[in-house]
Homo-oligomer: A and B are copies of this chain.
Amino acid sequence: MSTQRRLTTTSYALLSQLSLRPWSTYELAGQSARYFRYVWPRAESAIYREVKQLAKAGLVDGRKEYVGRRARTVYSISKAGLAELREWLDTPPSPFAMEFEGMLRLFVAPVAEAGQVEAALKQVRADNQEMLTFAGEVKQEYLDGRGALQDQVYVRALAIDFFANLLNTVDDWAARALDEIARWDSHSVEERNERAMSILAQVPVDTPAQPTTETPVVPDSQRRSARYPRG
């Protein structure tokens, strides 16, 4: 019953899912692979490990069921689990983070062979297309009334809206970047840099009013765990 170990966001992600309805571990792993993968990617084995620990901590109840001779465990959230979940909801979420190897490829451009960076960015667009196709399928599932947790479309629609827009933004950028790269061959580094300055000037973000007195330090919005501040 007592919560020994500190819970991770992965714990809460599972508690969240289980707060909506009971699931078997296999189903949870499936949901993770199909949907959660995009916002909170975790290995399949981590799901199995994690629910077991949640059960040990008394935050979820496991019930063995049988399909023929094959057993499976169906979990549901416990009162203690729901309380934990509610407490988590009073803490600020950890900030948006990403891994984008495509950008690493771009950074090596000065020492890459012609075409290598281009190929990487084309791959980025291909991946994006694949994900957009998936998003389109999910959109259609909900429009057809056969989406997962269809009774919560009012929540899920916002998630689909998020992804479609995000993927389009990334794709638009990749297209722009490919356009620029195509010009590199016929321009010197100096010419490219001059052009870059006007691209920079048009980047949709305000520059600081007073010149930053010195190079700002390491960004701080790292991991958080405290409650929301005062108001």
Given contacts A39-B100, A153-B197, contact A136 B205 (CB under 8 A): yes
CB distance from A24 to the nearest CB of B (A): 16
The answer to whether B134 and A219 touch across the interface, beta carbons within 8 angstroms, is yes
The verdict on A68 contacting chain B, using a C-beta distance below 8 Å, is: no
The answer to whether B96 and A16 touch across the interface, beta carbons within 8 angstroms, is no
Bound-state CA distance A137–B88 (Å) is: 33
Interface residues of A in 149-201 (CB under 8 A from B): 151-162, 164-170, 172-173, 176-177, 180, 184, 189, 192-193, 195-197, 199-201
The verdict on A37 contacting chain B, using a C-beta distance below 8 Å, is: yes
Given contacts A13-B104, A130-B221, A204-B164, contact A96 B99 (CB under 8 A): yes
Partner of A143, one of B156, B165, B173, B207: B207
> Oligomeric state, in number of copies?
2
The answer to whether B104 and A89 touch across the interface, beta carbons within 8 angstroms, is no
Partner of A19, one of B111, B197, B201: B111
Partner of A41, one of B12, B97, B112: B97
Given contacts A161-B176, A200-B157, contact A93 B89 (CB under 8 A): no
The answer to whether B153 and A196 touch across the interface, beta carbons within 8 angstroms, is yes
Bound-state CA distance A203–B161 (Å) is: 5
The verdict on A45 contacting chain B, using a C-beta distance below 8 Å, is: no
Identify the stretch in A48-56, A57-65, A208-216 within 8 Å (CB) of chain B at 4 or more residues.
A208-216
The verdict on A109 contacting chain B, using a C-beta distance below 8 Å, is: yes
The answer to whether B154 and A195 touch across the interface, beta carbons within 8 angstroms, is yes
The answer to whether B154 and A16 touch across the interface, beta carbons within 8 angstroms, is no
Closest to A176 in B: B161
The answer to whether B218 and A170 touch across the interface, beta carbons within 8 angstroms, is no
The answer to whether A166 and B164 touch across the interface, beta carbons within 8 angstroms, is no
The answer to whether A211 and B92 touch across the interface, beta carbons within 8 angstroms, is no
